[in-house]
Every structure is written in structure tokens, then in C-alpha cells.
Structure 1
């Protein structure tokens, strides 16, 4: 009999309608979790929920605009109202626009920090609120190799991912006694919808992007969505009960 590693756990995913977030929502369902998808694309969420239900699991979609902190609160309130608890939170939502230090405007900077950091901060606040009622839980923050300095055209983005590392370490240190743990999953270069769209706007096709990335990445190819499945399942499951404050890299050898 197959072991369901997230059986009966309630997992909240911000940005669960796109890219790695959507893929991991389906993976969590496959592993027996009740999945709460936060995002704005209802059509994509319904597709993910259909797939989740084919595994015999359950899930709901909560329309969430991460620029609205009340929506961040609503995401967790609805999860708790529906399923009675929250065991895990995977913070995937983020934006990655071009943002070099010498030309980034205030509007772009504020957008990046509001989505990537401010929304995550208040989502974690809500996650902790509900996890402590249930004796603990696991928070996984989506990181990036850019957090260690980043490329020249991603200065604001790099800062947003760097501050998430500090938030992860703070949560891990301050809430361990409540059995609330937090880890930082460093994602590699992945051809998500957002990444492909950005490169197309710069005149590069997805095929050209993949070829360029393959030449620069030590392991010879970009990371695909499902390359992160086992890491995320591990960090959300009881198998990682004693793991907190860790930086977990799945980057095809990329260290910026």
C-alpha cells in the first residue's frame, strides 16, 4: 500500500495557480493533503483542484490578491474555517521583473517588495496564528540563488529574496519551542510561465532560453517544476520534524 506522506494535512499555498506553486498543489494532493490554493487565476486553480480530486484528496481555491493584506488573512481564515486546522504553508508567490539598482524605479521596487516580502510576512503571521492552535506546523519559503547577491538586472528582486532568508531564520529561532518550523527552499532557474513571458518580451524564445541556460548551468539543464517535488514534500511532512532554519538548494548547481 502506498504511503501518503501528507495524509490529512492541510497545506496552504500562496501563488498556487502558477508555475511551481500549481505543480506542488497537485503533488500535495497526490500525497493525501487537503490543499488550499491562494491566487488570482480561478481557471488554473480549478484545473489543479480537478487533478487533486483524482487522487482522492480535497482542496479549495481562495481568490487572493497579495497586494491586499486583508486577502492574505482571508486565505488562512478560509483554510481554517473549511478544514479546522493548518499544518503547512508553502509561500510560492512572487514577481521577478527587471530591477537593476541604477535604474529601478520606486513603483517597481514597491511592487517587488510588497508581493515578495510584505505579503509573505503577513501570510506567515497568519500561518503561525493557526499552527500554534494545532501544536505546530511547517512553513516553506521560496528562495532564490539571487538572495546571495543576484544578477545585475535583479537588484530589487535579490533584496526581496535575501530578506526572506532573514524572515526564515527569525521564525525558525523564535517559534521552535512551539513546534513551528521554517525552512528556505532555494529554487533554480525554472521555465515558469512568468520567466518564459519575460524572456519573450526581451526577444528570446523559450527554446533559446533553455539552450542559453543549459550552457550556463553546471548540471546542463534548467530545473523543471517537478524537480522540487521531493524537497517540498519532505519539508512539509513529518519526516522533517526536526529540520528548521535550513537553506535547501535545488538549483542545478547554480550559485550566483
Structure 2
């Protein structure tokens, strides 16, 4: 049976867990050869092993994607191992909450490094490899906070807004090379990072689930919800799609919540 991204070579950053792993796993299930990039070595190795144990193809490569040298090496290893590079999913991200007053220069720089600089570095080295391969697809994992203001996510919102502009710039600059670039907005995913953030603020997973029940479809999203869209954007089915914003957020960007009957 033919798969939607058969034999495509795809790098997924921040893929040791959460949304990134969900994306990597589904791409592999659809026939891709996946390079899992993360700085969590033990979790990254386990993620690749899980995919391989299911009969698919994945390798783990340690990479701190805020470091240019690591991003250059990541692309080089993907090409050396599999002979080409067809796609890149810039998923690595960090979303600490802080108002303007709470945001130090150091925190600002750290958030920018993880959410924007990493994508710049990865694209800088991935695009020449894609040009050599005759084309490719880049998916930048964005956020509704890149479109809408939130007073306690000043740096994160600014970073995701910058990532959107980078996406559109690259889409225009490299379209003639058959390289596409799109911005995907997942919704509220009950990921390890989201749970850890809630716990750091005195909450727990049960509180999060209760909040998720108030969303339009009655639940938080899963990594797989985002992964379905990534498979489409990486596949040839989306060959005419570039510079686009994909809302895979269960209506969150429109502030849609379940209607309540009032007695």
C-alpha cells in the first residue's frame, strides 16, 4: 500500500516527546524516514526506538537547535544517512509565561533563541539540501499567540509572530525552487510541557482536563491532531500550498467555546 510521504526524509525538531513525537511517529507511519532532533538524548533515543520497533524508519540525533553548529550537523547527518532531505518541521519551542515587567533580558533572549533562532538556523542549512533534492516542504509550528496578544506571554507571542513572518518570507523567496513553507497553529495540547507548566503554578492534570471539557469539542487536542495536518503539508497533496496559516486549533483562535444553555 502506498503511503502519503513514502521515502521522504524529514527532520522534526523537539521530537523526543509531545507534539514533536506525535508528528514524527505519524510521518514514519506514512512512509517517511524521520530524523528525531532533540537535546533530551535518553527520550530521543527511546522515541526513535519506538518508531523502529513498529516497523518504520527513524533515527535520533542530538541537537541543541539554538546552536548553529548543531543545526548544520543535523542536516548534514540526515543527508549522509538517507541521501537527501525533503522536509523540515520546526517544532522545538518553549512557552514560559511572563508579563513585560517579569521578562528579563536573559529570558527574552532565551525564548527568542528557542522559538525563532532555532528555525532560522535549521532553515538556513536545510534549504540548500532541499534545493539539491529538487524541492521540499518546511512546516513551522506556530501559535495563536503569534496572531493574538496575551499580556503574560510577551516574549513568546513576539517570537511566534516573528516565526510567522519568517515563514512567509521563505515561502516567497524559495517558491521557484519548489520549496514550500507553511505555519501551523495547533490548539491546546495536553502535552508534557503543558502539564509541567500547570504543576509549576499549583495546578494539576485533572484541572487541565476540566478546562479542556469547556472547549468547543469537549477535550484538549492531541499531538496526532496536529500531526495529520503536518503529513498533509509535507506530502505532495499540498504541492500548491505555501505561505499559509493552518489553524488546527479546534476554534481556539476564534475564541469559540461550547454553548451553555441558560435556565
TM-score (norm 1): 0.95
- The farther-off stretch of 190-199 and 144-153 is 144-153
- 2 CA distance for matches of 1:159 and 1:146? 8
Q: CA deviation at 1:18?
A: 2.0
Instruction: Count residues with an aligned counterpart.
Output: 254
Asked if residue 189 in structure 1 is aligned to residue 211 in structure 2, the reply is no
- 2 CA distance for matches of 1:173 and 1:30? 31
- 2 CA distance for matches of 1:166 and 1:187? 17
Residues 17 and 47 in structure 2, CA contact (< 8 A), matched pair in contact too: no
Q: CA deviation at 1:25?
A: 1.0
- 1 CA distance for matches of 2:93 and 2:127? 20
Could you list the per-position Cα deviations for residues 70-109 of structure 1 after superposition, in whole angstroms to 9, with x for gaps in the alignment?
1111111111111110001011000001121232111111
Q: Which position in structure 2 is the counterpart of 1:219? A: 217
Residues 65 and 122 in structure 2, CA contact (< 8 A), matched pair in contact too: no
Task: Mark the runs of 5 or more structure 2 residues left unpaired by the alignment.
Answer: 256-263
Could you list the per-position Cα deviations for residues 102-146 of structure 1 after superposition, in whole angstroms to 9, with x for gaps in the alignment?
321111111000110011111011111100001100000001011
Q: CA deviation at 1:55?
A: 4.2
Q: Which position in structure 2 is the counterpart of 1:121? A: 120
Residues 84 and 130 in structure 2, CA contact (< 8 A), matched pair in contact too: yes
Task: Mark the runs of 5 or more structure 1 residues left unpaired by the alignment.
Answer: none
Could you list the per-position Cα deviations for residues 135-160 of structure 1 after superposition, in whole angstroms to 9, with x for gaps in the alignment?
10000000101111232211110011
- 2 CA distance for matches of 1:232 and 1:149? 22
Q: Which position in structure 2 is the counterpart of 1:71? A: 70
Q: Which position in structure 1 is the counterpart of 2:92? A: 93
Asked if residue 18 in structure 1 is aligned to residue 25 in structure 2, the reply is no
Q: Which position in structure 2 is the counterpart of 1:239? A: 237
TM-score (norm 2): 0.93
Q: CA deviation at 1:57?
A: 2.6
Residues 131 and 137 in structure 1, CA contact (< 8 A), matched pair in contact too: yes
Residues 99 and 108 in structure 1, CA contact (< 8 A), matched pair in contact too: no
